[in-house]
Amino acid sequence: MKHLFFVFSMIIFVFCIVSSVSAEENWNRIVNDEADAKALYQKAVEFTKQMKMNVDRDIYMRFEELEHIKIHASSSGWTSGENVLAFYRPYGPELIFMPKGVPAIDFYTAAVHELTHAWNSSNCPPQDRSVNEGLSKWMEFMACMSVGDRAKSARILGESSVRDPIEYKVVQHLMKLYKEGGIEAVKKYVKETYKYEDK
């Protein structure tokens, strides 16, 4: 009887190890497959829900070659398109363009970034680019930290500080607000702020 119990618990133990390994996502894989892209996009939607930064509608994801996305982005006039990986189009119809052939972690954090723009467009007044981008960057950073990729999280901050120092200040400010007052403090700030000011 004792022996049976031992075998039984060993089976459970091994099963737990195997299932925890298989549940582990390989964040370095390249996303080329539409089903994989959809699953990752859905995971990004779930993250925005967790953070209470989701919109109450489904936003269609268009999975395209990066070159096409750059063209859509630059022809929209919203951005130069050069450094674009993904792109949120608020109307005509509302869409999120997501790239083929990038690592899963980049795809996932970019999806969170663009979904945050969608939240922003329906919850905040028109505002300075630094505040709008700062919020999306901060969410991108939070999503990256939540899957335990510290190296990329640091890179997100580094790139932000180089590209737009004001945007980087917004990101830092949001971190402080989140630490002190949680997501509601972050939301309150971005809903009420047109332009970042040092205080």
* Binding span for Zn ion by CB under 5 A among 20-28, 41-49, 132-140, 160-168: 132-140
95-99 and 30-31 strand pairing: unpaired
Helix H or strand E encompassing 147: none
The smaller minimum CB distance to Zn ion, of residues 77 and 148, is found at 77
What value, to the nearest 5°, has the Cα angle with vertex 40 and ends 51 and 85?
90
Provide the minimum distance between the beta carbon of 164 and Zn ion in the complex, in angstroms, as a whole number: 11
The smaller minimum CB distance to Zn ion, of residues 89 and 100, is found at 89
Asked if 153 interacts with Zn ion (CB under 5 A), we say no
Packing angle between helix 165-192 and helix 150-163, nearest 10 degrees?
100
Residues pairing with 98 in the sheet:
63
* Binding span for Zn ion by CB under 5 A among 57-65, 99-107, 125-133, 158-166: 125-133
Q: Are 99 and 110 in contact (CB under 8 A)?
A: yes
* Residue, CB closest to Zn ion: 136
Q: Are 140 and 167 in contact (CB under 8 A)?
A: no
With a CB cutoff of 8 Å and minimum separation 6, the contacts of 110 are 85, 86, 98, 99, 102, 140
Provide the minimum distance between the beta carbon of 178 and Zn ion in the complex, in angstroms, as a whole number: 19
Asked if 130 interacts with Zn ion (CB under 5 A), we say no
* Dihedral angle over CA of 60, 65, 71, 76, nearest 10: 10
Among 130, 136, 160, 193, binds Zn ion (CB under 5 A): 136
* Binding span for Zn ion by CB under 5 A among 118-126, 131-139, 177-185, 186-194: 131-139
DSSP letter at 82? T
- CA-CA distance, 99 to 68, in Å (whole number)? 9
Asked if 160 interacts with Zn ion (CB under 5 A), we say no
Provide the minimum distance between the beta carbon of 182 and Zn ion in the complex, in angstroms, as a whole number: 23
In our burial notation (b when 16+ CB lie closer than 10 A, e otherwise), range 77-88 reads ebeebeebbbbb
The smaller minimum CB distance to Zn ion, of residues 109 and 136, is found at 136
Per-residue x/- track, 13-52, Zn ion (CB under 5 A) = ----------------------------------------
Provide the minimum distance between the beta carbon of 31 and Zn ion in the complex, in angstroms, as a whole number: 19
Q: Which residues bind Zn ion (CB under 5 A)?
A: 133, 136
